[in-house]
Structure 1
C-alpha cells in the first residue's frame, strides 16, 4: 500500500510539473498571454454576433444572439480545441519523453488540464455574465445539464485527441489530414443553427451521427426553458464518447514507443 501511494505521489508531481510547463509554454510568463487566452472565446462570440447582426440574422432560439452563439461556440471549443491542442504532443514533448520519467499518458493529462482550465474559466465568466444580465436563469436542473455536457465534451475531445496523437505517431502527415477533415465540423455541428429548423429530414439523418451536434443541442436544451431538442440522444452521445475514449487509450498504449522516437 505504501509503495502504491508513493507511486501515485510521484505520478502526481510529474503531471503537475508537465501541467506548469505546458501552461508556460503556451501562454508565457506575462499576464497578457493568459488574458489573451481567456478573451479568445469572447472575441469569437463578439465577432460573430457583430457579423450576424450586420447581416440581419436573428437567433434560432430566444431573442439574444450572444447567448445563442455562446452555447454553440463554448462546447465546440471545449471538445475540438482540446483535440487540436493534443496533436502538438508528438512534436513538443519529444525531449521531455526522452529525458524524464514522464510517459505519453502523463503528457496527455497535462495537456488536458492546461487546455480545459483556460477554456472553462473563460466559459464560466461569459455565461455567469450573461446570467447576471438576465439572459438565462440559474436553475439546478440547468446547471446539472450544463455540467454533464461539459464533462462529456471534455472526455470526447480527450478521447479523439488521444486517437489522433496515436495515428499521427504512425502516419506523420495525418495531422494535415485531420485539419482538413475537421474544418467542416464548425459548420455541421449546429454552432450557427438549430438543425431541425434548417434542414430536411434526409440531411438531419446524416447530421445526427455527428456527436458535436448532440453536445451543442444538449447545451442549449439546458439554457432555454422554452425549447427542447428533438435530436439530442444521450445514449448515442455517451456510447460514442466511451468508444472514442477507450479506443484512444488503447491506441496510445500501443503507440507509446513510437511517440518517444
Structure 2
C-alpha cells in the first residue's frame, strides 16, 4: 500500500518529490521578500526565512498529511473490495508516506536555512522532535475523522475546504501568538496548529518560552478525534463504501 501511494502521489510525474520541496521553499522566499520590504525584522528573532519556515513547515505538514489521510478511503476504494485489505491499511499507508515526505522536506529546508543564513537560533532537537511528533498526531486524528466524514457525508469535503481556508492566516505563520491583541488571542488559543508552531519556534529560538503552548490540549484533541473516527469507521466503513 505504501509503495502504491508513493508511486501514484509523487512518482506519477517527473519531479514529484522535487516539487514537494520547492513548493514550501517558494512560499518562504515570497513571504521573506514581501515582509522584508515593510519590516526591519520579523516578529521573533532577526532572520525572516527561519521565522517563516518555522511557521509554514508545520502548517503545510499538517494540511498535507491530514488531507491525504482524509482521502484515503476514497482513493483506495477499489482495493478495499479485497477482504485482506482493511480500511486501516489504506489510512496508515497514506498517512505514513505523506508524513515521511513532509519530515524530509522539513529537514532539508530548515537545515538549509540554518546553514546558509545567520539565523541566530540555537536548535534544541528534543523540542523540535516533539513538535513534529505532535504535528503527526494531530494530522492523523483530523485525517481519520475526516476519512469517515468525507465518505459518509460527501458535502463535508467541500465544507471543510471552505472552513479551513483561513487557517493559514490565523495559525501564527506570519506572527507570534503573543502579538495578537485580546480578545482574539484567547480565541486563537483553541487552534491547535498555533500550539504546534509555537512549540517548534521554542525549539529554535533560545529565550522564547511560548508559555501558551499546551501539549495536553494538542494530545487530547488528536487522540479524541482519532478514537472517534476509528469507532465510526469500524462500525460503518463497509456500508459507506458499498453504497
Q: TM-score, normalised by structure 2?
A: 0.92
Whole-Å Cα distance in 1 between the matches of residues 75 and 60 of structure 2? 21
Counting only pairs closer than 5 Å after superposition, residues 100-249 of structure 1 correspond to structure 2 as: 101-133=84-116, 134-135=118-119, 137=121, 139=123, 142-200=124-182, 202-249=183-230
Whole-Å Cα distance in 2 between the matches of residues 167 and 38 of structure 1? 30
Residue aligning to 1:80: 63
Q: Which range moves more in the overlay, 250-259 or 163-172?
A: 250-259
Aligned residues: 241
CA offsets 1:235-256 (integer angstroms, 9 cap, x no match): 2222222212222222222232
Question: Alpha carbons of 1:45 and 1:255: their partners in 2 closer, same or farther (altered >3 Å)?
Answer: farther
RMSD over equivalenced CA pairs, Å: 1.8
Structure 1 portions without partners, runs of 5+: 1-17
1:128 positional shift: 1.3
CA offsets 1:98-143 (integer angstroms, 9 cap, x no match): 146211110111001111121111110111122323425555xx10
1:38 positional shift: 2.4
1:86 positional shift: 2.2
CA offsets 1:192-222 (integer angstroms, 9 cap, x no match): 111221322x111111111111111111111
Whole-Å Cα distance in 2 between the matches of residues 223 and 193 of structure 1? 15
1:31 positional shift: 4.9
Secondary structure, counterpart of 1:221 in structure 2: helix
Whole-Å Cα distance in 1 between the matches of residues 55 and 188 of structure 2? 16
